[in-house]
Structure 1
Amino acid sequence: MRICVFLSAADLDERYTGPARDFAERLGKGGHTLVWGGSDVGLMKVLADGVQDSGGRLVGVSVGFLSDKARPDTDEMVVAADLAERKKLLLAKADAVVVMVGGTGTLDEATEILELKKHGHTAKPIVLLNTAGFYDGLKQQFRRMEDEGFLPLPLADLVHFSDEPAEALAYLDSAIHA
């Protein structure tokens, strides 16, 4: 499976890096490919190191103004002209999407893929990996959107929330092979 992961490039503490390493190791040992923003810093580096060290492949999609932070030892690296092109390429190269902890860039990427799925422009499974309860507030907001009629399809058809890396990967395996 080619799994696109949206996540932070910030240096974060162990409550976020530990689960990221766990997910990365499972991804790599499963023979999967990580499709990610291509950065060799922060949580992006933690994830890429774990996938590569565990035997997985790396497909990076950087963007011109961040290319100086791009990981040099990937199986494939593409440099997009801008953030919009980067998101298109990330999604085109993936079978599934996982949203890990992150800031505004991660949230932008997540909402774009969710909007595409809402409108039927992708059927790729999407998991929000809710590490250390990071997305509890967003989950509550999505439930409110569903309850008050803002979503044209059930929330469960749009996104799957997972608290643990193993469960996230198991969900993707079952969704892809269904």
Structure 2
Amino acid sequence: MRICVFLSAADLDDRYTRPARDFAKLIGKGGHSLVWGGSDTGLMKVVADGVQEAGGKLTGVSVGFLAHKARPGADEMVIAADLAERKRLLLEKSDAVVIMVGGTGTLDEATEILELKKHGHTDKPVVLLNTAGFYDGLKEQFRRMEAEGFLPRPLSELVFFAEEPAAALTYLEADPSAR
């Protein structure tokens, strides 16, 4: 399975890097491939290192203004013209999506895939990996959107919330649309 991971390129505390490294190893050991933003910095580097060390393949999709941060030695590296093309390519090259900790770019990517899924433009499974409770507030906001009628589909059809890396991968491996 080709797993797209949306996440930060920032250098982060161990409470975020440890679970990211654990998830990366699960991807590689499971015979899966990583599709990610292509950066060789911060949490993106941690995940790419872990997948590669565990025998997984790497497909990066960077963007022109970040190409200088692209990871050398990826199995495939594509340089997109802009952020919109980057998101489109990330989704095209993947079978499933995992949203890990990140900033505004990660949130933008997350909401775009959920909007596409909400309208039936993709059936890829989406997991929000809520490391150290990072997305507790967002999870609550999504629940409020559902309860107050802002979502035309049940939240459970749009995204699976996982608290630990193993639960995220178990969910993806059990979803037939991820293959």
**TM tier, shorter chain?**
over 0.9
Deviation at residue 176 of structure 1 after TM alignment = 2.9
Aligned residue identity for 2:140: Q
User: Partner of 1:79: helix, strand, or coil?
Assistant: strand
Q: Over residues 50-98 of structure 1, what are the superposed CA-to-partner deviations in whole Å (9 max), with x where a residue is unaligned?
A: 0000000000000000000000100000000000000000000000000
Match of 1:167 in 2: 167
Match of 1:39 in 2: 39
Supply the distance in 2 between the matched residues of 1:141 and 1:30 (Cα, whole angstroms).
33
Match of 2:65 in 1: 65
Report whether the alignment pairs 1:119 with 2:115.
Answer: no
Deviation at residue 177 of structure 1 after TM alignment = 6.2
* Equivalent residues of 1:6, 1:37 under 8 A apart: yes
Aligned residue identity for 1:15: R
Q: CA RMSD in A?
A: 0.8
Match of 1:15 in 2: 15
Match of 2:109 in 1: 109
Aligned residue identity for 1:93: K
Deviation at residue 27 of structure 1 after TM alignment = 0.4
Match of 2:94 in 1: 94
Aligned residue identity for 2:169: L
Match of 1:53 in 2: 53
Segments of structure 2 that go 5 or more residues without pairing to the other structure are none
* Equivalent residues of 1:61, 1:89 under 8 A apart: yes
Aligned residue identity for 1:172: L
Segments of structure 1 that go 5 or more residues without pairing to the other structure are none
Supply the distance in 1 between the matched residues of 2:145 and 2:115 (Cα, whole angstroms).
13
User: Partner of 1:51: helix, strand, or coil?
Assistant: helix
Supply the distance in 1 between the matched residues of 2:124 and 2:138 (Cα, whole angstroms).
20
TM-score of the two chains, using structure 1 as the length reference: 0.99
Deviation at residue 114 of structure 1 after TM alignment = 0.2
Aligned residue identity for 2:99: V
Determine what percentage of the aligned residue pairs are the same residue: 79
Following TM superposition, the consecutive aligned residue runs of length 4 or more in structure 1 with deviations greater than 6 angstroms are none
Aligned residue identity for 2:172: L
